[in-house]
Amino acid sequence: MLEIKNLQASVEEKPILKGLDLTINAGEVHAIMGPNGAGKSTLANVLAGQADYEVDGGSVSFHGEDLFELEIEERAAKGLFLSFQYPLEIPGVATMTFLKESINAQRKQRGENELSTPNFMKIVKEKAQQLNVTPEMLRRPLNVGFSGGEKKRNEILQMLLLEPSLCILDETDSGLDIDALRVVADGVNSLRSPDRAMLIITHYQRLLDYIKPDFVHILVDGKIVKSGGAELAHELERDGYKDIIASA
C-alpha cells in the first residue's frame, strides 16, 4: 500500500529525513518510535503533503501511485489520514459542520453522492458515542477550547468517520488520560482490517499494549536504524535509546 524508498526531506534547508525506507502492506500495523526531534512528525507531514517540508530525494508510492504527484486533498480522498500531534482550531465552525464538510468533500472527489443529513447524523452519533464525544462537543467550534485529550479524541472521531485506508497517528496517545487511552485504542482497533494499514508514532509502550503492532521501527536522526516485532518496543522501554542506537 505504501512504499517509501530512500526518502530525504528538509525543512528550511535543514535536512531532517536522511534516506528512509519503509514498506507497509494492507492489514499491517507499524509503530514508529524514536527520540525527540528524530523526524517522526516530519515523516507524517511529508506523507500528508504539508508544504513547509521540502522533499529532496527518494520516492513514495501510495496504492501504486506517485504520492508526490497528488494534492493534499487528493491524498486524503484516496485514503491517507493523519491524526495530528497538535490538532488545529477553527473558530466559528461547528465540529459537526466540519465533519460533514470533510466527509462530503472526500465523497465528491471520489465521485460518490453526498451523504444526506439524517444519514450523516446517524453515523456521527454512533461513532461519537463510541469515543465518548458528547453532542455538546459536536456543536462547539472545531477544537476551540477543547482540552488536549478532547482534541485527540476528536481526531480519532474524524478517522472513524472517514474510514481511511492508511491511518497515520502522530502521538495520539499523548495528552490522553488512562480511560481515554483505552477508548481511543478501542476506536483504532475497530478500524483494523485486512485492507487497512496503520502507522503509529508514539513514545510509549502503553498504547502498543492496546494496539498490537506487527512491526516496530526505531527512527533516529532521519533514518530507521532498527526494525523488529512488538517485542522491540518492550526492549526500548527497558533499555532506552542508547543501547539500541549503539548496537544499530
Partner 1 sequence: MAAIKETVNTVAEIDLDNYKYGFTTDIEVDKAPKGLNEDIVRFISAKKDEPEWMLEWRLSAFRRWKKLEEPDWSSVHYPKIDFEDLYYYAAPKKKIELDSLDDLDPDILETYKKLGIPLKEQEILAGVKGASNIAVDAVFDSVSVVTTFKAKLAESGVIFCPISEAIREHPELVKKYLASVVPVGDNFYAALNSAVFTDGSFVYIPKGVRCPMELSTYFRINEPNTGQFERTLIIAEAGSHVSYLEGCTAPMRDENQLHAAVVEIVVMDDAEVKYSTVQNWYPGNSEGVGGVYNFVTKRADCIGKNSKVSWTQVETGSAITWKYPSCILRGDGSQGEFYSIAISNGYQQIDSGTKMIHLGKNTKSRIISKGISAGHSSNCYRGIVSTQRSATNVRNFTQCDSLLIGDKCSAHTIPYIEARNSSSTFEHEATTSKINDDVMFYCRQRGLNEEEAVAVIVNGFCKEVLQNLPMEFAVEAQKLVAISLEGSVG
Task: Using CB under 8 A, list all residues that contact partner 1.
Answer: 48-52, 71-73, 76-77, 81-82, 84, 87-93, 97-98, 101-103, 105-106, 109, 141, 158, 162
If one asks whether residue 42 binds ligand ATP (CB under 6 A), the answer comes out as: yes
Member of 2, 8, 22, 40 binding ligand ATP (CB under 6 A): 40
Member of 41, 45, 95, 158 binding Mg ion (CB under 5 A): 41
Cell triple for 220: 533516529
CB of 14 to ligand ATP, least distance (A): 6
CB of 90 to partner 1, least distance (A): 6
Give every CB contact of residue 244 below 8 A, 6+ residues apart in sequence. 218, 225, 226, 235, 236
Q: How many CA atoms lie within 13 A of 63 on its CB side?
A: 15
Member of 36, 116, 117, 247 binding ligand ATP (CB under 6 A): 36
CB of 151 to partner 1, least distance (A): 11
Cα dihedral 71, 76, 79, 80 sign: positive
Q: Could you please report the per-residue DSSP string of 97-117?
A: HHHHHHHHHHHHHTTPPPPPH
Using CB under 5 A as the binding rule, the residues of this chain from 66 to 95 that contact Mg ion are: 85
The burial of 75, by beta-carbon neighbours within 10 Å (0-12 exposed, 13-18 middle, 19 or more buried), is given as buried
